[in-house]
Amino acid sequence: MVDDATPDDATADEEEFVRAARDESGSGTVLGLAVAGCVIAAVTVVLPLYMGLTVHQALEGAADAASLAGADVASGIAAGSPCEVAGTVAGSDDAAMTSCVVDGLVVTVRVEREYLGLRLTDSATAGPPETVSN
């Protein structure tokens, strides 16, 4: 078996190999893809959490509105049963009323809603302002 390569050819091949190994073309693309992948992963994790905060804020509004509506009925401003009206108002805000307590003119409502398999709950109390004695 005869080797046709000369020592100069071997050296040229080695130099070409070293030159190709040191070539950095395309490394920016790999880095860009890695950064984009990290950003997408972070958004995928964080976005549902922020949406959950928004849903919980809406649930707080539903509890407040339901308790105010119940308190209006309890004080005679509106007709009906305080808990029935509070349940209707909570339902219109996509919340389910789980409890309603009427104590004179004060109505306390507890509502819940499910988001991504988690049960979010909130409660609110409404009634006439307390009289302050000096």
For the segment 113-126, the average pLDDT, to the nearest whole number, is 93
| Every domain of the chain and the residues it spans | 54-126
**Within 13 Å and on the Cβ side, how many CA atoms surround 52?**
13
pLDDT at residue 85 greater than cutoff 70 = yes
pLDDT at res. 133: 41
pLDDT at 16: 76
pLDDT reported for residue 131: 35
Instruction: State the pLDDT at residue 3.
Output: 56
Q: How far is the CA of 73 from the CAs of 18, 34, 116, 130, in angstroms?
A: 85, 59, 34, 18
Please count the helices (runs of H) and the strands (runs of E) in the chain: 3, 3
Calculate the alpha carbon distances from 3 to 11, 12, 14, 17 in Å. Answer: 15, 16, 17, 20
What is the pLDDT confidence band of residue 132, given thresholds at 50, 70 and 90? Answer: very low
Share of the chain above pLDDT 90, in %: 59
